[in-house]
């Protein structure tokens, strides 16, 4: 028996049975209804969107636009603190620099080389040996110089004896000249012999006193002798004449012969000749010989007088010559002795000792900090120059930070106001005009002046006002902040390394106002200089919201999110720091500024993140936020061109 089963009813027990064909068309109809419903929903949604758009256009307050991709900041009044943040290294404000005092042989050459040096960072006591320089060349010079000094001493002794001999010879020559003058005067007096004759008083009373002077000298003696002989010859001639007359009479009486009479006549002739000769002699004596002899004697007297003057001048010339030779030898000897003493002093300077208690710090010149050259480095075998700084002995109780400030900011930095007192100049002038010659001589020494300067250095300037306040954070003590103030700002730009040769920075010294134990030179530190303390709240926006560069002057752009979307606003900026910038005009309180304007402008926008790829130094220094560097510099791009990264965007109170 066959049984046929039918399907159960689908519409319930009360519905009538429908054939299978009619039931098979329900799934297609249901799909159609679904499609129609989707189309209706999409249409209704589009209509609602269009209506909302039109309503938002005419009624924006009812339908605000939202941009989830934009980050905004609400503008409010804030106290804007303007600071300069720079990084630098610690050093002592009171240093004793050890300088190479060994002199070089010639200009441009090295003075010596380092034979031994104490380790860097060693604590030393005053007068402790720090460095030993090679002195072998100086030892050779010392031995040679001693020989030169001995020769100079012998030459000095020789010229001194020659000077003494010459002075004695001058005295002898002068005495000879004086004696010759006296002899010449005596010869004149001897020749004339003018004497006062008292027996001629009666004549003198009539003719005057001169008539009472008669010649009784050698001439008068010769004249009297000639006159006496002439009178005797005349007397003999008279006798011869009488004798001849007698002889002639005797011949006539034949008492004498003719020849005997001729003898008498011959005697008479001889007597005549004698008288004639004596008369001529007297004539010559009176007429010529007296004048000649007197002229000769007077000439010799004048020559004797001139001889004295000549001897005096010759003596002076010879004395000056001998004295010059002696002084020259003395100067040469003193010069050689000074050279010997200088070599001894140079040998002493080869042993360099500590000028005070402290810690040894090798001196590092600015030019070698970023150089790979070993020149100027302190190590055994390195050559050193005259005047080169070798070691620094710092006072660890008085520390300061040596940093550098960009040229755009340096005009805002105010250091200590110090008034020079001129104390050292007054003291030096007083020492140079004192009556004590030893004091004047001593104060001409550079060493003495250096000692006096060190003793009176604190009195050379009067501190009228402290510089700007600053706070210092040392990397070795990151959780501590030390108070300080700006001590000085260099008047000229510092030398930079190759990578920042176009950046001008000025050395700035910031003193730590308290004694801190544990601080050491060359520790890294960050200085925050308070440029202008906040006076009143101002409208401020974050740095990264500003668009534009220094070419716009004080004008920049920001984007304010409104109900219709972001709108560009032109603003005028004022002071700013590493985070916020003052807005003088262009936006209002409670406006929403866009912090990421790149989303609106694209990658080519000149914003704080990309305007200056050098690390932020130029963006801030230009006087306006909007350069790159603010956040990048803050993030630590310390090697970026423009300076130390922490400094780059943090500070820019300069002229916008």
Q: Which backbone phi and psi does 559 adopt, to 5 degrees?
A: -115, 125
522 vs 72: CA distance, rounded Å: 43
593 vs 589: CA distance, rounded Å: 11
For 308-349, the pLDDT digits (tens) are: 999 999 999 999 999 999 999 999 999 999 999 999 999 999
pLDDT recorded at residue 605: 56
Q: How many CA atoms lie within 13 A of 117 on its CB side?
A: 22
pLDDT recorded at residue 338: 93
For 483-509, the pLDDT digits (tens) are: 999 999 998 888 655 455 567 889 999
Report residues of the chain scoring pLDDT below 70.
1-31, 42-43, 45-66, 108, 194-214, 366-376, 424, 432, 435, 440-447, 453-458, 495-502, 533-534, 603-656
Q: CA 464 → CA 321, 416, 417, 419, 475, distances in Å?
A: 63, 8, 6, 7, 32
Task: Pick left, alpha or beta for residue 539 (phi over 0 → left; psi -120 to 50 → alpha; otherwise beta).
Answer: beta
335 vs 341: CA distance, rounded Å: 10
Question: Contact, 459 vs 421, CB < 8 A?
Answer: yes
pLDDT recorded at residue 482: 93
Which sequence spans correspond to the domains of the chain? 72-81+534-648, 143-312
Question: Which of these CATH numbers, 3.40.50.80, 3.30.1490.270, 2.40.420.20, 2.40.50.180, describes 72-81+534-648?
Answer: 2.40.420.20
The gap between the terminal CA atoms of the chain, to the nearest Å, is 110
Q: What count of other Cβ atoms lies within 10 Å of the Cβ of residue 175?
A: 11
Burial class, 272, CB count within 10 angstroms (exposed 0-12 / middle 13-18 / buried 19+): middle
406 vs 617: CA distance, rounded Å: 8
Q: How many residues does the chain have?
A: 656
403 vs 471: CA distance, rounded Å: 13
428 vs 447: CA distance, rounded Å: 13
The radius of gyration of the chain's CA atoms, rounded to the nearest angstrom, is 63
pLDDT recorded at residue 485: 92
Q: Which backbone phi and psi does 103 adopt, to 5 degrees?
A: -80, 145
Residue 83: closest CA among 644, 634, 578? 578
DSSP category for residue 288: I
């Amino acid at each position: 028996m066959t049984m046929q089963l039918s399907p159960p009813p689908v519409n319930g027990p009360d519905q009538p049975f429908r054939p299978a064909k009619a039931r098979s068309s329900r799934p297609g109809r249901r799909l159609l209804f679904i499609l129609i419903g989707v189309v209706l929903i999409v249409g209704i949604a589009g209509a609602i969107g269009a209506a909302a758009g039109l309503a938002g256009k005419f009624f924006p307050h009812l339908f605000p636009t939202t941009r989830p991709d934009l980050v905004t900041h609400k503008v409010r009044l804030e106290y804007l603190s303007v600071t300069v943040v720079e990084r630098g290294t610690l050093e002592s404000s009171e240093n004793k620099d050890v300088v190479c005092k060994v002199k070089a042989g010639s200009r441009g050459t090295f003075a010596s080389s380092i034979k031994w040096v104490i380790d860097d960072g060693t604590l030393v006591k005053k007068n402790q040996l720090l460095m030993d320089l090679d002195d072998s060349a100086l030892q050779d010079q010392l031995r040679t110089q001693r020989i030169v000094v001995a020769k100079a001493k012998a030459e000095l002794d020789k010229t001194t004896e020659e000077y003494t001999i010459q002075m004695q010879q001058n005295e002898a020559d002068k005495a000879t000249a004086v004696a010759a003058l006296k002899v010449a005067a005596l010869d004149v007096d001897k020749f004339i012999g003018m004497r006062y004759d008292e027996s001629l008083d009666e004549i003198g009373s009539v003719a005057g006193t001169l008539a009472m002077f008669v010649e009784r000298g050698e001439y008068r003696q010769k004249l009297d002798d000639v006159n006496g002989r002439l009178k005797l010859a005349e007397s003999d001639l008279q006798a011869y004449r009488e004798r001849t007359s007698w002889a002639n009479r005797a011949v006539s009486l034949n008492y004498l012969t003719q020849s005997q009479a001729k003898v008498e006549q011959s005697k008479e002739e001889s007597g005549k000749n004698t008288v004639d000769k004596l008369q001529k002699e007297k004539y010559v004596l009176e007429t010529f010989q007296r004048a000649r002899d007197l002229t000769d004697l007077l000439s010799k007297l004048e020559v004797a007088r001139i001889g004295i003057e000549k001897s005096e001048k010759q003596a002076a010339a010879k004395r000056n010559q001998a004295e010059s030779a002696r002084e020259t030898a003395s100067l040469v000897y003193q010069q050689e002795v000074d050279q010997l003493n200088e070599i001894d002093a140079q040998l002493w300077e080869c042993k360099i000792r500590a000028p005070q208690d402290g810690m040894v710090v090798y001196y590092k010149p600015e030019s070698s900090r970023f150089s790979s050259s070993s020149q100027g480095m302190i190590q055994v075998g390195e050559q050193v120059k005259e005047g080169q700084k070798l070691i620094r002995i710092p006072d660890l109780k008085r520390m300061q930070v040596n940093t550098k400030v960009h040229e755009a900011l340096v005009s805002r930095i105010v250091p200590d106001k110090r008034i020079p007192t001129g104390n050292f100049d007054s003291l030096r002038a007083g020492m140079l005009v004192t009556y004590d010659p030893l004091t004047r001589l001593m104060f001409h020494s550079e060493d003495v002046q250096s000692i006096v300067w060190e003793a009176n250095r604190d009195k050379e300037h009067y501190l009228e006002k402290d510089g700007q306040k600053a706070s210092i954070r040392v990397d070795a003590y990151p959780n501590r902040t030390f108070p300080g103030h700006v001590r000085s700002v260099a008047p000229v730009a510092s030398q930079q390394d190759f990578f920042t040769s176009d950046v001008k920075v000025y050395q700035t010294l910031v003193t730590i106002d308290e004694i801190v134990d544990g601080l050491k030179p060359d520790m890294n530190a960050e200085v925050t200089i308070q440029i202008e303390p906040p006076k009143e709240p101002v409208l401020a926006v974050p740095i990264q919201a500003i668009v534009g560069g220094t070419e716009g002057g004080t004008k920049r752009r920001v984007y304010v999110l409104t109900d219709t979307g972001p709108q560009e606003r032109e603003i005028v900026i004022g002071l700013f720091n590493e985070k916020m910038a003052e807005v003088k005009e262009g936006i209002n309180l409670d406006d929403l500024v866009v912090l990421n304007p790149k989303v609106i402008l694209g990658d080519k926008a000149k914003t704080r993140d990309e305007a200056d790829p050098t690390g932020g130094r130029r963006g801030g220094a230009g006087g306006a936020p909007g350069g790159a560097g603010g956040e990048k510099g803050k993030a630590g791009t310390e090697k970026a061109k423009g300076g130390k990264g922490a400094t780059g965007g943090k500070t820019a109170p300069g002229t916008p």
